Copies of this chain bind each other. A is one copy, B any other.
Amino acid sequence: MTIHEIAAFLQGEVVGNGNVEILRVAKIEEAGPGDLTFLANPQYQKYLGVTRASAVLVSSALEDAGPRNGSAPALIRVQDPYLAFIRVVKKITPVLDPFPTSIHPTAVVASSATLGTNVGLGAHVVVGENVTIGENTRIAPGCVIGQQARIGNDCLLYANVSVGHQCVIGHRVILQAGVVIGSDGFGFAPRKDGTYEKIPQLGIVVVEDDVEIGANCTIDRATLGETVLKRGTKLDNLIQIGHNVVVGENTVMAAQVGISGSTKIGKNVMIGGQVGTAGHIEIADRSIILGQSGVSKSLKEPGKSYFGTPAKDQRKAQRMEVALRNLPQLMETVKELQKKVEALTKAIEKKP
């Protein structure tokens, strides 16, 4: 596609020579002739004058793009350069489709299972009794789908995923490799002799539409009822979701987060990497929890930011951190004050 054709596809405006053919996409600091790139983060504006790309997607709002001389790349002005870039990438990159498009002869499918049209099952996939899989869903080698599980349409399951019995997966769900859906919740009742009795975990996991779950995440089934990941939730890798947790719509979690049992998380919450939460608490909509925080109590007010273990208002946590950095100095100051006060006390005793 030429730069003009890309601009037309994006409903953007070309500044400079739009007749050059675009062959590839690249990052602005690495791009060369024939490459399309983008400028979204103002930090990268320094590259605009030096990039060797043939064209750069920039914001319509960008004011000073520098002179467009003969060797400078053409600009394509669009509303959101990054989203526009993604649209172009999807259009021009020859993407390899890693998923099976048919049912491999080594897949083991129970005769009671129901498969929609165009279901793809890779080698050695196992589909249990009374499972339902919707149309266009494709499942990579080594996945195991337990009895009575239901998987919707247009889902993608990467290698070695396991979906436990009776769990329910919506439409357009993506499960990265090694995900475990429906492991038993961690429930044990202490006996008097110090041993533990396992509490049967009889509930299920419900993963709603448009959820993506990262590699090797573990989502426990409910003790009774459902553990729920609501529509549009996105989880990074190695995340633990305890039994009976409910995660609201469009909530995102970075890698290695752990959510303890029965906690309810709101909508559009953002949780940084390695955050942990207590069980049986509530986290309000649009909360932002910074990385490595430990949330020990409910966060009830929507839209606030938190940091620390135990987690507190982000600005308060920052003030505490600043104070802590100055604490050794403060200790010196207090020691000096003590000496001065002692000296003053002696001095005043000597006065008449």
Contact = CB atoms under 8 A, between A and B. Distances in A.
A112 interface: no
Interface stretch (A2-10, A47-55, A60-68, A192-200): A192-200
A268 B194 CA distance: 7
Contacts of A126: 122-124, 141-142, 159
A204 to B, nearest CB: 10
A196 B30 contact: no
Interface residues of A, number: 116
A98 interface: yes
Interface stretch (A12-20, A177-185, A298-306): A177-185
Given A30-B225, A224-B27, A340-B345, A98 B146 contact: yes
Interface of A: 25-27, 30, 80, 82-83, 86, 89-90, 93, 95-96, 98, 104, 106, 108, 122-124, 126, 128, 140-142, 144, 146-148, 158-160, 162, 164-166, 174, 176-178, 180, 183-184, 186, 188-189, 194-200, 202, 210, 212, 214-216, 218, 220, 224-225, 232, 234, 236-238, 240, 242, 249-250, 252, 254-256, 258, 260, 267-268, 273-274, 276, 278, 291-292, 294, 296, 309-310, 312, 316, 319-328, 330-331, 333-334, 337-338, 340-341, 344-345, 347-348, 351-352
7 contacts: A96-B147, A108-B141, A174-B198, A177-B183, A323-B330, A348-B351, A351-B352
